[in-house]
Chain A
Amino acid sequence: MYPKELKYDREHEWIRTEGDVATMGISHFAQDQLGEVVYVDLPSVGDTITAGDAFGEVESVKSVSELFTPLSGEVVEVNETLADAPETVNEDPYGDGWMIKVRLSDPAEVDDLLDADGYQAFLAEEA
């Protein structure tokens, strides 16, 4: 449910870093809470995002949640398939359900992220 090789934050995002590029999506917990996703509103390639800001929205039949980024940088890729198949976020949140890739402007921000154990501990407190 929470792959060990990924990092997480308290807004229920998962982060995979390869060099200075980070891929982000939402965790199993987040997609389960939302229910069946019907729309994903993502930024455009070229947009600058800043740690702590909302970069988009994910919407289900009954609710809308903002997507917050824990990392700053430039959006270099956006998962276009989510426009036609938003339910991919529920079916494969860590794989095909990825949302954006960001070229990091401050790689040190990655140090503030939680590992899988830390995220699960956070979830246990939340509940």
Chain B
Amino acid sequence: MSHGARTTPLFEEHIALGARMVDYAGWQMPVQYSGIIEEHTAVRHGVGVFDVCHMSEFRVFGTDAKAALNRIVTNDLDRIDAIGSALYTVMCDEDGGIIDDLIVYHSGDLEYLIVANAGNRETDWAWLTSHLPEAVEATDESDRTGLIAVQGPKALGLVGELAGADWSMPARFTLSEASLDGIGVLVARTGYTGEDGVELFCHEKNTVALWRLLLSFPEVVPCGLGARDTLRLEMGYALYGSDMDRGVDPVSAGLGWVVPRTKGEFIGAAAIHCIRSAGPERKLVGLTVPEGVPRHGHDVLHAGGVVGKVASGTYSPTLGHGIATAYVPAELSVEGTRFRIAIRRKTVEAIVTKPPFVKGTSLSASGS
């Protein structure tokens, strides 16, 4: 184990399951158990569970919480007026640079629950607390919160069975309380895989019990960060640090859809408006790579010259070939444009493809 790396409450469970561990954002996390492709396939066709306890959870409360938070995030919290509803957003600095991407849940009357990336916990906390007025309280609940994702076409059925006949599954992007075999949880119907499913929040002291409860079903497959990455990239979901960072704005990153034009004042609004009006110079595109596995940092070539680098890249288990994202000049971002990617000693073809790379998942079937 790396000196100084943090562990989640499920660390010993992963070791007992024979997981291969890796250091990720300062945490010892399972990259795979039975194998990335096997785990990926389980999520696409059955049900898989993921330890995502490393993620950050912040709660913001007060009469002014909504207004204050709405000035910090780009998406409009008016969209989640209904208690229990949630939305995906980014928060930016004054130059429009993305600080993090996150999900905001309207968890209570004057309360919002923010789930953010593990690697950005300190930055996000500092940013939030320095931009929230004194009257708005904020707490960092990450250490006392356990989080397990249950994803796949069979996920909802399983969770529904555990929650009992008197409970109904919330709508997509909504959360509600439940008791699973006596363990109190918040069930959020959100996820990062492209399959329908939930993310279960519990008190950290109940995380092991919840994990074991889920794994007591023989069809449930434990899945690591390796499968988490292949699943999300097949859908074209962004990964902070790979697809975007502080140096890029949401428009160039293909996240203009979480920055509604009609929204009032928020940090970065002016800068983003300028980029929108002028048109971004570079855009993040999806690339289909028929032969070879593209990886972060590989050069992207056009007409013999380097025009960009691969942001995210992997082998798609569903499609059986490589897929990637890369920032390329805006004039070359049209679907169908052909590039070449330099992979070690050779170059391979890459064709601009609008994500998702994989269609017809259980999530698309539910109409979201």
Contact = CB atoms under 8 A, between A and B. Distances in A.
Interface residues of B, number: 14
Nearest to A84: B320
A59 B230 CA distance: 15
A62 interface: yes
A35 B317 CA distance: 13
Contacts of A62: 31-32, 36, 226
5 contacts: A36-B35, A38-B293, A61-B317, A62-B31, A64-B344
- Grouping DSSP codes into helix (H, G, I), strand (E, B) and loop, the A interface class, with mixed when no group exceeds half, is strand
B37 interface: yes
Contacts of B293: 38-39, 59, 61, 64
B94 interface: no
A59 B315 CA distance: 10
B344 A61 contact: no
Interface of B: 31-32, 35-38, 226, 230, 292-293, 314-315, 317, 344
A61 B37 contact: yes
Interface residues of A, number: 10
A57 B344 contact: yes
Interface string A49-69: 000000001011110100000
Contacts of A59: 293, 315
Nearest to B291: A39
A62 B295 CA distance: 9
A31 to B, nearest CB: 11
A35 B36 contact: yes
Q: Taking each of A38, A57, A60, which has the highest tally of chain B beta carbons within 10 Å of its own beta carbon?
A: A38
Interface string A19-45: 000000000000000011011000000
Contact of B35 (A35, A39, A57): A35
A41 to B, nearest CB: 9
Contacts of A35: 32, 35-36, 226
